[in-house]
Structure formats: structure tokens, C-alpha cells
Structure 1
Amino acid sequence: MTADQYLYEILGREAVDMGPQSPILSVLGTLNPLLWRWAGNRLHSVTPSGSFAKGTPNRSGTDIDLFISLSQETTETLREVYENLFSFIRANGYAPKRQNVSINIRVSAAYDVDLVPAKRQNMMNFDHSLYRRRADTWTKTNVQTHINHVRAGGRQSETRILKLWRTQKGLELPSFYLELTTIDALRGYNGTLSQNVWRVFQYLSSSFVGARVVDPANTNNIISDDLTAAEKNQVKAAADRALLANSWEEIVR
């Protein structure tokens, strides 16, 4: 089996139905009534975002992100919105886990769901204010811009392999940070799947730690600041080990 055959076999194993009839979308029907009860007329929309919307999910990863858009008339602070949603979800029988900008829950014993509450800034576009729990601050973002950017980058297969590698090696590397890094590392380069992934490992080893990664929806939001220097060096060290591996089986499974 060639390197490309091996990686494509993994992608096949990890494939997720992303069509309009995907079983994963059933979580919308389960959670929508609950979210409407929580937000009432403040709720503007609940839409798939994250990996599912960008075409980069893996079966063994978080199944779907739901972006909860609240009206710009919402009076609570973003921190209060986040904590109120956490408490409400827990009071309704779920076991939520706090993450940086999302709240993770398990739905129907089958799907992991990340809930991302945000406040719409105005009705002219899809810009939102989002709470960042680690820094206890907020940032402006536009998830539709993120989706469009990653889809246009065209590196979904490479990103999915690298997400599996990240998870299997226990690395702290947010998905959007990894998606943007993969696009940057492969800009202007078009090899086979294995060659492309290898090139990303080379980038992670040589350039990742010092690279400044900017949110395409907000140039004031520096995505690369989401990791500490120690966490970035852990990613670099793991990439160094991948480049020294004797086989792809040692790198990702």
C-alpha cells in the first residue's frame, strides 16, 4: 500500500455524511426547542458551523458545532450569556463542559455538540461578538467568513489527516488555527495527499512557532495568540517526531 492509499483509507474510515439528510443534523431538531426556551425572542438563528460546515470533520472528532446567533438587542454581557447557557443546559439534563468559546454536550448518547453562543453586532452583516473564556474577554468574528475561507482554501483532506494526528498525539491545537495553518503551509504547493501532509509537518517544524495567524474576519483577532509558547513548542516537537518516523503508521492511524 502506498502512502497516499494509506491516508485515503483513513479518510474513508473517518468520512462524515455532510449532506442535507445527514443524521448529525437531527441534533438541530433535538436542541432547537431547548434553545428557543432559553433565549426566547433574542434568538436569531441556530446554524451548523465549525468543521461540519467547512468540510473538515472526522467521525472520531466532535460531530458538529452549532452557532447560536442572538439579537443585538440582548442586554446581558457575553460572559453572562455564556454562563447562563451553561447553567440552563445543565439544568435540563445535559452534562456540559466549558471550552474556550463553546460549551460541549453529548446529545442522544450519539453525538458530541459544541454550542457557540454569540451576539450579533448589527443586521447588515453576520459579524458577531463572541466570548473568549480563557482570556475572559470578547472578540469580533464572522463564522460565515471562516466557512468561506476554509472551503476556498481547498485543503480539507490534508486538514482532516492533521486533525486526527493532533488528537491522537494529544496536542492542544484549536481546529480553526490548524485549518488556517494548513492553508498557509500549502499555499502555492500542489503535491499528492501524502506530500502535502508531509509539507505541513515541515512547516510545523520550521515556521509554526513564530508564525502570526490572523482571523480572516477580524485582523485584530490574532488566532496564534490562542496557544502559549509551550503549547506551540509541543506541536513543533510532535511534528519533528513525525518527520523522523519510519512509516505513516507511526504518524497517524
Structure 2
Amino acid sequence: MSDEYLRQVLLRHAVDYGPASPVRRVQLALMPTIHQWGGQQIIQIAPSGSFAKGTAVHSGTDIDLFVSLSSTTNETLAQIYNTLFNALAAAGVQPQRQNVAIKVRVNGYDVDVVPGKRQSQFGDDHSLYSNRSGTWLQTNVARHVNLVSGSNRLAEIRLLKIWRNRRGLDFPSFYLELVVLRALNGQRIGNLSHNVFTVLQFIRDHITTARFVDPANTNNVISDSVSAAGKQSLANAARAALTSTWGNEFA
């Protein structure tokens, strides 16, 4: 019964990934502004994050767009980030500064736009500006997408995102995805209720101390993106969820 209930929750929060999806039209709406800003330095503008991985839910950011710039781009990473922010502000889409992303609102949808400069002429390693620290970090978005989309844990990830959003928790999506993958290492695929319970136990017992690094750059410690107090809040919320009912935690 618990598995069936959770599958119904997933159906209610399902996102249309098809080519005619309204969310994809948001990308088309932003393309002229971004292309006018980046010009010939733009290699690609493509969905990334949860939408590309298949882990998006209706209650989260609707789509992430990764803007890949050529390694020959002369501007610094800070200049890239700030000039894109200004271009989006001029376009009237109400940009908000995140850490590496710029959040905008387009046609009723929330969009995270992430600019990155390719580190060499070949490959997918990119340098991103960290607005929070004023420095840069290296990552590989394509590797992230492949890791998560091929994990066979998309249902559990989506359910944990629904729980996070329902509880208003500070739990960045990639951090959450890595936590689910580690917690479910060796667990049976498709055992939905048991697996969600296992992840919540992991968060309760280990989130305050477990270290998670970017698989594309071990110097980028993903778990550092949440404060000690924030991690304690995650542990407390998981503890409460484990003594609650699925109906209270997932709706």
C-alpha cells in the first residue's frame, strides 16, 4: 500500500519532459536575450539540472539552463555572471542572484540560468563563478546528468525533493541527489517505500557529518553548500518524518 501511495504522489507531481512541454518554450523565450549577450562565444544553451536528469517535480525550479561559453571568452567569470545578470534584468525577467545560478521568472515558470566557461577547446569541464564566495569552481554538468539519469533512483530522488519542498528545507538538488545515491547503494531497485525510509534514516543519522564532493571535481565539496545549522534542520526533519505517515510528508 505504501509503494502504491508514493507512486500516486509521483504521478501528481509529474513533469512533462516532451518536446512540446510548456517549460521548454521558456528556453525559446530566453534565447534571444542570452544570444544577444553572449554572441559568438556561446557554444550551447541546454537544459541541465533536474529537468535534464529526469528528477524535476512541479514544486521545484521548473528548468535549469546551462550556458556554455567558449574557452576563448576574454571576460572574467565574475564579469560573465554579472553582465548576464544585467542583460536578464534589462529583459524584465526579474533576475535573482543565487550561488552559481541566476534565477528568473518567465511566463510563470522559475528558471535557473547558469553561465559557465569551458576550460579547454575540447571536453565538458567548465569554470563557474561562485557568487557566494567571490571565487570560481570547476564542474562538469554533462557528467552530473549522466550520473543521476542512469542511477535507477529517479523515483526516490523525486520523492525526497517533494518532501524537501513541502518542508521548506535548504537542501540543494545535486546535494540531495548524491545523498540518495549513497544511501541506496546496494538497495533493491524499485522497493520504493523501503528505499525512501532508508534515505530518511541516512539523513537523520549521517547528514551532519557525511562529506559529499562533486564527482567532476573533488575540490568542490557539495556538502559545504549547507551550513551546520541547516544540516541539523535536515536531520531533525528526517527524524520527524520517520515517525510520521507518508500522507503527512508527501502530498
- TM-score for both structures, normalised by structure 2: 0.96
Runs of 4+ in 1 over 2 A off after TM superposition: 19-23
Where do 1:59-74 residues align within 5 Å?
A: 59-74=58-73
Deviations 1:145-168 (A, max 9, x none): 000011122111001110011111
Match in the other structure for 1:205 = 204
- The one-letter code of the counterpart of 1:52 is F
Residue 176 of structure 1: which of 174, 177, 191 is its match? 174
The answer as to 2:98 corresponding to 1:88 is: no
Match in the other structure for 2:129 = 131
Count of residues in correspondence between the two structures: 250
Where do 1:166-245 residues align within 5 Å?
A: 166-190=164-188, 192-245=191-244
Deviations 1:92-124 (A, max 9, x none): 11111111111111112x321110011111122
Task: Report the aligned-residue RMSD.
Answer: 1.1
- The one-letter code of the counterpart of 1:154 is N
**Secondary structure of 1:153's aligned partner:** coil
The answer as to 2:116 corresponding to 1:118 is: yes
Match in the other structure for 2:6 = 7
More deviation, 143-152/131-140: 131-140
Contact 2:213/2:220 (CA < 8 Å) preserved in 1?
Answer: yes
- The one-letter code of the counterpart of 1:225 is D
Match in the other structure for 1:249 = 247
Supply the distance in 2 between the matched residues of 1:13 and 1:88 (Cα, whole angstroms).
36
Contact 2:118/2:127 (CA < 8 Å) preserved in 1?
Answer: yes
Supply the distance in 2 between the matched residues of 1:244 and 1:107 (Cα, whole angstroms).
39
Supply the distance in 2 between the matched residues of 1:201 and 1:63 (Cα, whole angstroms).
25
- TM-score for both structures, normalised by structure 1: 0.96
Supply the distance in 2 between the matched residues of 1:61 and 1:25 (Cα, whole angstroms).
15
Match in the other structure for 2:21 = 22
Supply the distance in 2 between the matched residues of 1:106 and 1:134 (Cα, whole angstroms).
21
Contact 2:33/2:87 (CA < 8 Å) preserved in 1?
Answer: no
Match in the other structure for 1:148 = 146
Supply the distance in 1 between the matched residues of 2:208 and 2:151 (Cα, whole angstroms).
22
- The one-letter code of the counterpart of 2:28 is G
* Percent identical: 50
**Secondary structure of 1:123's aligned partner:** coil
- Runs of at least 5 residues in structure 2 that lack an aligned partner in the other structure: none
